[in-house]
Chain A
Amino acid sequence: MATITHASPARRAPDRAVVRHRMGRVLLYALLVSGCLATLVPFVWMVLGSFKSSREIIRIPPTLWPENPTLASYQTILNDPKLPLGRFYLNSFIVAGSQVLMILFTSSLAGFVFAKYRFFGKSALFGFILATMMIPAQVTMIPGYLMLARLGLIDSLWGLIVPSAVDAFGIFLMKQFIEGLPSELLDAARIDGASEWGIYWRIILAQIGPALATLGILSFMGSWNSYLWPLIVITTHERRTLPILLTWYTSVHGSRTDLEMAAGVLVVLPILFVYTFLQRWIVQGIALTGFK
């Protein structure tokens, strides 16, 4: 081998380059695939745990693969009278759904106004909106709670929805997007006798579908996964959202890892399911906006 390559130096260089390239490729894929496997380990371990029986899961040494796979832990959770799981899904859904609708409406409307109209104090107002994005949620958390208490919204789903109906980031995103639309479109509509509201409702909204989808999905996930605020605001069991439910469940059945894992699967699954369908939008949205 060495003699052959030595004998034909003209061919040696490309060959070695090709080999090195191939080796590099193999190494690259090996690294990426093992990284993927490592990423999946926690999911797999949780799912495996959820199929172990309550006796198997506490066995020492632990088993890797469930010896007698059982759905008992899922049955326990789904039949638990103190745990109407459907209720918690519904709560999460009500909160996330109404938040998304309100954020989409307010963001697109304000974004439209800031993008396409000139008026007194515009840049100051927009600056104010951007500045509010800098305020960390922890700073306004305590007064926010006190305000809800005064409004009688503590321990109600309204308390989760109302404070976040207007979203500074959403306004910013929509303004950026709508600025890219041609203004001739609006003028044409005005000549045809459309009102300003009509322009927003019929023309702008029809043009910003992708931006609405992106903002909608990001807001939905943010709301669906949010933890700290519901933890503070909600005190009655029936009004909890899914994430709070899971920790409550853990604190009640602390030692039952099998139930915990089944509950974990039930909480994590819906979002991952949605993700498989909306992957493109979610990834695009984050890449585009840089926000979680």
Chain B
Amino acid sequence: MSALVKVVQNRWRRAFTGSKRGRSLFVAGALTPLMLYMLFWTLLPMVWAVVLVFFEYSATRRGGAILGLGGDNPFVGLGHFKNMLSDSLEAQKFRTSLKNTLIFAFLVLPLNLVITVPLAVAIEAVHERLKAVFRFIYFLPTLTATVGVATMWGYLYHPQQGLFNMILKALGATPKAWLTDPRAFMSSVSLAMWAIIFAYLWQDMGYNLVIFIAALQGIPREFREAAVVDGASVWQIFWRVTLPLLQPTLLFICVMTMLSSFQVFDIIQIMTDGGPQDQTRVMVLDIYLNAFRFQRMGWAGAVSMALFLIVLVVTIIQMRLLRTQWEY
């Protein structure tokens, strides 16, 4: 018996050793299970998600034989997408959440860049030891679980117990219901949305900061030194030397920041759950509520597909815009 095992073992080993056949066996043996796994957990859900869009589906109904589609979960064709343009309640909620998502993403991106780019340049300019300290502190919020961030900021914004209202009162101003007042607006964006945006920025900044610092370290010193020799001011160096050299990083950061802010969910679900009066209801929250609270998975799937398309289009546009700028 053991002799047989040995023979098999030897065969096996020879098959895997050196020979071309051994290599292709290894490749096939290693990749096949992994690829099947990916097909199962990534491609199958993707296809399923596309199919789901054409049905009025709920997991609570039994439906037809294949994936529970058909029967009680009827085929509706492009009905969900037509519905998005209608006056139905869910369509209004969808459009509100789309609008809020756009407001959120297009405010977060510039605010983030305006803070992180100069901050990275400043940190890069200080002494090596201190640089590490600053980077350490500025990066803390990024590592904090979003639930933690929401808890902290919920307390800062607390109408009676919060620090912000305490400061406002000390300054003689009227305290605000930061997260709950539906009639409070700043530059026609609701106060609750601003409040969320600031908490989000606080958490998200460190991530971009670290990438910018790394990119700045990649710029050869000679460039800036040459500019100094030519008599350029700090300001000129920033605009004419540093920023242009950061272009590729900027493109990357813009795309990534946009992508993640289009998908914002945790912080909003915890801090406001979309309120007040849906003023902070964003698309992922809309998807979550429809799919898992109201069991309207077909509709939620259609909304998620819309989100996917928007994200794709915005990404492509950004790439085009920023890439043409590189050329010269």
Contact = CB atoms under 8 A, between A and B. Distances in A.
Interface in B29-70: 30-31, 34-35, 37-38, 41-46, 48-49, 52, 59, 67-68
Contacts of A206: none
24 contacts: A39-B137, A117-B23, A134-B312, A136-B263, A137-B263, A139-B45, A139-B304, A142-B52, A143-B52, A144-B45, A146-B67, A195-B26, A231-B269, A232-B288, A243-B147, A244-B147, A246-B147, A257-B155, A263-B151, A275-B140, A276-B136, A282-B143, A283-B139, A290-B211
B81 interface: no
A131 B277 CA distance: 38
Interface in A34-53: 35-36, 39-43, 45-46, 49
Interface string A24-42: 1000110110011001111
A199 B143 CA distance: 36
Interface string B107-144: 00000000000010011011000000011111111111
A57 B135 contact: no
Interface stretch (A1-9, A208-216, A266-274): A266-274
Contacts of B17: 190, 193-196
A110 B34 contact: yes
Interface residues of B, number: 93
Nearest to B267: A227
Grouping DSSP codes into helix (H, G, I), strand (E, B) and loop, the A interface class, with mixed when no group exceeds half, is helix
Interface in A167-195: 168, 190-191, 193-195
Given A138-B284, A287-B210, 5 more contacts: A29-B126, A36-B138, A39-B141, A39-B202, A232-B292
A15 B68 CA distance: 81
A95 interface: no
Contacts of B146: 225, 227, 243
A268 B150 CA distance: 11
Interface stretch (B157-165, B176-184, B188-196): B157-165
B265 interface: yes
A106 to B, nearest CB: 6
A196 B134 contact: no
A275 B141 CA distance: 11
